[in-house]
Structure 1
Amino acid sequence: MNRKTLVLPAIVGLLGPLLAACGGSDSGSKGGDAIVVGTTDRFTASSDAPAPLDPAYAYDVGTWNILRQTVQTLMVQPRGDGEPEPEAAEKCGFSDTGNERYACTLRKDLKFSNGDPVTAQDVKFSIDRARNIKADSGVFALLSTIDTVETQGDREVIFHLKTADATFPFKLSTPVAGIVNPDDYEKGKLRDGFQVDGSGPYTIESEVKNNELVNAVYTKNPNYKGLLTPKNDKVELRSFEDADAMGTALEKGDIDLMTRSMTPAQIQKLSKNSTGSVDLVEMPGLEIRYLAFNTDATSVKTRAVRQAMAQVVNRGELIDKVYGTQAQPLFSLVPATITGHSNSFFNKYGDPSTTKAKSLLNKASITTPVKLTLHYTTDHYGTATKSEFEVLKKQLNASGLFQVDIKGEAWDKFRPAEQAGKYDVYGMGWFPDFPDADNYIAPFLDKDNFLGSPYTNNQIIGTLIPESRREADRLTASKSLSEIQDIVADDVPVLPLWQGKQYIAARDDITGAEWALNSSSTLQLWELGRGL
């Protein structure tokens, strides 16, 4: 490549021939040493989360990226995004006009990595297992529209849905719908530790120290049958304590590629570097960040307090001071690039205004300053998170209406505490399970939402979400989706802050880096190769 920064547009599939000409993944070669990929994702087993890599439990971008390489799903999101395509399945589709009956036929001679045949009964076992265990991560809610799973012979699986769900093919592409072997996974119990078995493109060997996965070696699965074509025989995923250590390893050649999360300073430095042996690849991203509220907590139970915070927060200033060009303001849970997006928060609150916020609090007879602690995770979304919360603290306190402290906690402590309702206000990020507006709404607002939020709105749950799911044409669903976003802006159970781009930095001899992440931040290690 002539440039050290490659920027990929949203419709990345249109660039296929161009990317191949400048060293795309099709030019990669197999064999040789393992391609070593660095990440700051941490994978810890604890008493609160003893089974981080069980498909029935895992529900964050890091653990899903482990599973996507090893556990096969009926459907998969294709290279360059778009509608999901059959993966373990030979074909899938709705077999009725109401989008309530979905049938799949498995590929012939499908096998687990140990050689055991994969049958329709294994698919039913896997899906029913996740639904019945109902892990406290909340991931089972992705399968909530399923009523029953039926099998016909060894290759036919039929899903009978409770209600129409046009997004169901996307949900079958997520790891919670991964196919597991009943010989390896118990029906009613999560599989503790870091062992993973499946029928995906790779097998995995995990190196664990002090209950933490520090290194994962993926080896091409000789029994794999599916849509994907691995461009390598072996990939090593190495976990680093921080982005600086990961960057140093890339500079020294100890790793070949680094992915999430790099610091804003690292990205800025690499984007300006027109020489050297490392390429920075910039891609559209659908990651969002937001503040969430325990709406039962005394400090934020009154809606006016949450509305006043929405009125004070200055997203533009926050991004300028912390992320620069790597993020943009977000005025809804649904990112601006997703069909159905509406700028609901801007429409309601406009530009930041202390005067308007004070009026909201006065009308609700709220004594100021309102004392709050904003909680954030120190190690899950990158080191810039602390700086982000320092800016938020300064903005809220400068209004004179709030007295805010901030407190950081490691993810393995932060997430269980958040789920247990111990935080009044806390910061989270969301990497979509699939690129549809439904996946920025239902996980936060539907029954069994993954936040464990006490906030409920009967109109959203009972009417608007089901209405939106009935529409196969997602543009037609926009009316219901916009109504939901307006309700969220009014009630503020969550406060969206920004949506970000995503980046990969790779050494010059690594091909396929431009395809190694899709817009949902799915790590596609099978695209990586070595070559010119």
Structure 2
Amino acid sequence: MMNRTISRRALMQWALGGAAVLQGISWTGLAQAAANGQLRIGMAAPPTTLDPHLKSNAPNNALATHIYDTLVINDEKSISRPGLATAWRVVDDTRWEFDLRPDVRFSDGEPLTVDDIVVSFDRANTIESTASFRTYTRNINSITSPQPGKLLIETKQPEPLLPNSLSRIRIIRAKFKDTPSDQFNNGTAAIGTGPYVLKEYVSGNRVALSANPNYWGPKPALADVELRIVTDAGARLANLLAGDLDLVEQVPYEGVARVQKDERFHIIRGVSSRVVFFSLDTFRDVTPFITGKDGKPLDRNPLKDLRVRQALSMAIDRSAIVERLMQGNAIVASQFLPAGAPGTSAAIKPVPFDAATAKALLAEAGYPEGFRLTIHGPNDRIVNDSKIVQAVAQMFSRIGLEVSVEVMPWSVYADKADAHEFSINLDSWGVNTGETSNPMTALVATQNPDAGMGIANSGRYSNPDLDAKLAVAKRTLDDAKREKMLSELSEIVFNDVAVIPMHHEVLVVAARKDLQFTTRADQYTLAMNAKTV
């Protein structure tokens, strides 16, 4: 362990290759952790709950995946694989039959029953939440067991992505149906059939897990796991290099070379399905963080004008952000997924940087002198999030806007974004289905929580034409027809600048040399994906 008297500043300088000379650091932690089957992971963003049905976001879902199982598993490439269901088949347009895995037990030794499955889906569909799982449950009409070992799921309408939707709903004990979330956080109700058992959860600090002795699948290679929340990227890297951590996610790009020069560690990269974008408040007639340059409220919301949205998009030099800020560890985005992915359109190209045209569009929209704007973002959730917000603010200032920036921890930011408190804010979405109906449903469909629509639509964009066509596409079982519909919907979304796409992230993980780790498209850092070599 490192000498705790070392100043944080000195440790950071050393981790990034600076000139600081550090004393009193022992490297025995790495060998000791390996010998004991321990894994200490530095997590970039904190989970906010252990209740697997309360709030859908990547940190929460990744943590829940360690403890709870799902009927269908999303693998590292977002392909549906057997989970608690070993196989499935389409009976007709609205009925699917699933074969249940036999002899599955919860971590407390109790057997998994159909009642546990039914209760879990009902709870996920009805629990009060600002970021619910109803997107994945809203179309389920009934779940029955026609015979032992079989599950019949009937949907209200055809559901071509039902197996993928089932991979989102984690199964709990039926006895905890009405248990409040704090009982999951303290461990009382955090009983699952997953590969790990909860030992301790300290909100915003750490999660301790141990291998589940009753797990039906392959035992984790590393039985003793600690997920440490280290939101500062430099501090995560410093702790890895000091021997306090074995693996860290979201390695700061300026520290990659330092890791590569150290024979004790290696860099692991992977392709991500996460798109980074800006949400725009196109809902309110007057938006709270845009005023005249004199600070007085404007008589209308500029973001409701397509020309203003186009101007803001054109003002951003995405290539510069990818090359300089992201150091090449990203791909410029033009839509929800890279071109060629299911549901994307070849007609949509990245928006070119064009400050002159952006200024002209602002003038045409009635803002020749610009306006005053505050951009919001997290500072510990998206790779380089605060730097991205600062860079975009500078770019906006070059087209005549007076721009301020406000960033905050994800634990605070997420609730504010869900409550629609911002005018323009940095956001991201992991497109875990590998096609575009998922982000369209969550990010740009008119918000309707009861129907599972627009659950992450923080700008409250609304387009009735889009909603109607999306509803048809989502119940079209023919893959080719559905993809053509989704491609046309992508053109509607991005030609209307419903959101401003920025880039697709590339994962950069650092680990001790003897650790092999498999990255995932959804960016979940899972302990069961690590093993020693």
Query: Above 0.5 in TM-score?
Result: yes
Per-residue Cα deviation, 1:20-72 (whole angstroms, up to 9, x for no partner): xxxxxxxxx9983412221122234xxxxxxx221111322111111111101
Answer yes or no: is 1:502 the counterpart of 2:507: yes
Residue identity opposite 1:295 in structure 2: T
CA distance in structure 2 between the aligned counterparts of 1:190 and 1:217, rounded to whole angstroms: 17
Answer yes or no: is 1:124 the counterpart of 2:111: no
Contact 1:280 1:504 in 2 (8 A): yes
Call closer, same or farther: CA 1:393–1:137 in 2, change over 3 Å.
Answer: same
Call closer, same or farther: CA 1:458–1:490 in 2, change over 3 Å.
Answer: same
Per-residue Cα deviation, 1:254-273 (whole angstroms, up to 9, x for no partner): 221112x22121234435x3
Call closer, same or farther: CA 1:188–1:82 in 2, change over 3 Å.
Answer: closer
Please report how far the alpha carbon of residue 87 of structure 1 lies from its aligned counterpart in structure 2 after TM superposition: 0.9
CA distance in structure 1 between the aligned counterparts of 2:486 and 2:471, rounded to whole angstroms: 8
TM-score for both structures, normalised by structure 2? 0.83
Contact 2:53 2:124 in 1 (8 A): yes
Call closer, same or farther: CA 1:206–1:338 in 2, change over 3 Å.
Answer: farther
CA distance in structure 1 between the aligned counterparts of 2:70 and 2:240, rounded to whole angstroms: 32
Map 1:220-259; keep pairs closer than 5 Å.
220-226=211-217, 228-259=218-249
Counterpart for residue 394 of structure 1: 394
CA distance in structure 2 between the aligned counterparts of 1:336 and 1:269, rounded to whole angstroms: 33
Please report how far the alpha carbon of residue 231 of structure 1 lies from its aligned counterpart in structure 2 after TM superposition: 2.1
Counterpart for residue 291 of structure 1: 278
Answer yes or no: is 1:305 the counterpart of 2:308: yes
Contact 1:121 1:154 in 2 (8 A): no
CA distance in structure 2 between the aligned counterparts of 1:189 and 1:242, rounded to whole angstroms: 28
Call closer, same or farther: CA 1:171–1:529 in 2, change over 3 Å.
Answer: same
Contact 1:332 1:343 in 2 (8 A): no
CA distance in structure 1 between the aligned counterparts of 2:162 and 2:179, rounded to whole angstroms: 23
Map 1:46-445; keep pairs closer than 5 Å.
52-78=49-75, 80-81=76-77, 83-96=79-92, 98=93, 100-153=94-147, 155-174=149-168, 177-186=169-178, 191=183, 193=185, 195=187, 196-208=190-202, 212-226=203-217, 228-259=218-249, 261-271=250-260, 273=261, 275-296=262-283, 297=287, 298-336=301-339, 338-342=341-345, 346=349, 350-382=351-383, 384-400=384-400, 402-445=401-444
Residue identity opposite 1:323 in structure 2: M
- Select the structure with the greater relative contact order (CA < 8 A; seq sep ≥ 6): 1
Contact 2:251 2:510 in 1 (8 A): no
Contact 1:122 1:181 in 2 (8 A): yes
Residue identity opposite 2:409 in structure 1: A
Please report how far the alpha carbon of residue 194 of structure 1 lies from its aligned counterpart in structure 2 after TM superposition: 5.0
Q: Could you say what secondary structure the match of 1:183 adopts?
A: helix
Q: Could you say what secondary structure the match of 2:205 adopts?
A: strand
Q: Could you say what secondary structure the match of 1:69 adopts?
A: helix
Residue identity opposite 1:437 in structure 2: T
Please report how far the alpha carbon of residue 476 of structure 1 lies from its aligned counterpart in structure 2 after TM superposition: 4.2
Call closer, same or farther: CA 1:346–1:449 in 2, change over 3 Å.
Answer: same
Counterpart for residue 520 of structure 1: 522
CA distance in structure 2 between the aligned counterparts of 1:252 and 1:30, rounded to whole angstroms: 15
Call closer, same or farther: CA 1:102–1:241 in 2, change over 3 Å.
Answer: same
CA distance in structure 2 between the aligned counterparts of 1:192 and 1:367, rounded to whole angstroms: 54
Per-residue Cα deviation, 1:236-260 (whole angstroms, up to 9, x for no partner): 212224122221221122221112x
Please report how far the alpha carbon of residue 423 of structure 1 lies from its aligned counterpart in structure 2 after TM superposition: 0.5
- Size of the alignment, in residue pairs? 476
CA distance in structure 2 between the aligned counterparts of 1:419 and 1:413, rounded to whole angstroms: 10
Please report how far the alpha carbon of residue 344 of structure 1 lies from its aligned counterpart in structure 2 after TM superposition: 5.5
Counterpart for residue 40 of structure 2: 36
CA distance in structure 2 between the aligned counterparts of 1:409 and 1:256, rounded to whole angstroms: 27
CA distance in structure 1 between the aligned counterparts of 2:505 and 2:231, rounded to whole angstroms: 22
CA distance in structure 2 between the aligned counterparts of 1:270 and 1:336, rounded to whole angstroms: 32
Please report how far the alpha carbon of residue 496 of structure 1 lies from its aligned counterpart in structure 2 after TM superposition: 0.5
Please report how far the alpha carbon of residue 229 of structure 1 lies from its aligned counterpart in structure 2 after TM superposition: 4.6
Residue identity opposite 2:428 in structure 1: G
Q: What is the percentage of aligned positions where both structures have the same residue?
A: 21
Please report how far the alpha carbon of residue 498 of structure 1 lies from its aligned counterpart in structure 2 after TM superposition: 0.5
Per-residue Cα deviation, 1:91-111 (whole angstroms, up to 9, x for no partner): 222221x3x212222211211
CA distance in structure 2 between the aligned counterparts of 1:234 and 1:189, rounded to whole angstroms: 25
Per-residue Cα deviation, 1:103-144 (whole angstroms, up to 9, x for no partner): 222211211110111111110110011111242113322222
Contact 2:307 2:361 in 1 (8 A): yes
Contact 1:194 1:213 in 2 (8 A): no
CA distance in structure 2 between the aligned counterparts of 1:507 and 1:346, rounded to whole angstroms: 40
Please report how far the alpha carbon of residue 337 of structure 1 lies from its aligned counterpart in structure 2 after TM superposition: 6.0
CA distance in structure 2 between the aligned counterparts of 1:168 and 1:190, rounded to whole angstroms: 30
Per-residue Cα deviation, 1:294-326 (whole angstroms, up to 9, x for no partner): 112324222221121112211112222311210
Contact 1:76 1:173 in 2 (8 A): yes
Per-residue Cα deviation, 1:173-215 (whole angstroms, up to 9, x for no partner): 12xx11100223417878563532211111111242xxx2422
CA distance in structure 2 between the aligned counterparts of 1:160 and 1:151, rounded to whole angstroms: 11
Call closer, same or farther: CA 1:361–1:219 in 2, change over 3 Å.
Answer: same
Counterpart for residue 15 of structure 1: none
Residue identity opposite 1:374 in structure 2: I
Q: Could you say what secondary structure the match of 1:130 adopts?
A: helix
CA distance in structure 2 between the aligned counterparts of 1:241 and 1:394, rounded to whole angstroms: 25
CA distance in structure 2 between the aligned counterparts of 1:524 and 1:88, rounded to whole angstroms: 18
Call closer, same or farther: CA 1:252–1:187 in 2, change over 3 Å.
Answer: closer
CA distance in structure 2 between the aligned counterparts of 1:189 and 1:526, rounded to whole angstroms: 25
Call closer, same or farther: CA 1:370–1:148 in 2, change over 3 Å.
Answer: farther
Residue identity opposite 2:382 in structure 1: Y
CA distance in structure 2 between the aligned counterparts of 1:188 and 1:154, rounded to whole angstroms: 31
In the alignment, structure 2 segments of 5+ residues that lack a partner are 1-32, 288-300
TM-score for both structures, normalised by structure 1? 0.83
Contact 1:288 1:335 in 2 (8 A): no
Residue identity opposite 2:241 in structure 1: E
Residue identity opposite 2:510 in structure 1: A
Residue identity opposite 2:389 in structure 1: F
Per-residue Cα deviation, 1:437-460 (whole angstroms, up to 9, x for no partner): 222221112343122442222222
Per-residue Cα deviation, 1:213-239 (whole angstroms, up to 9, x for no partner): 42222211121114x552232222122
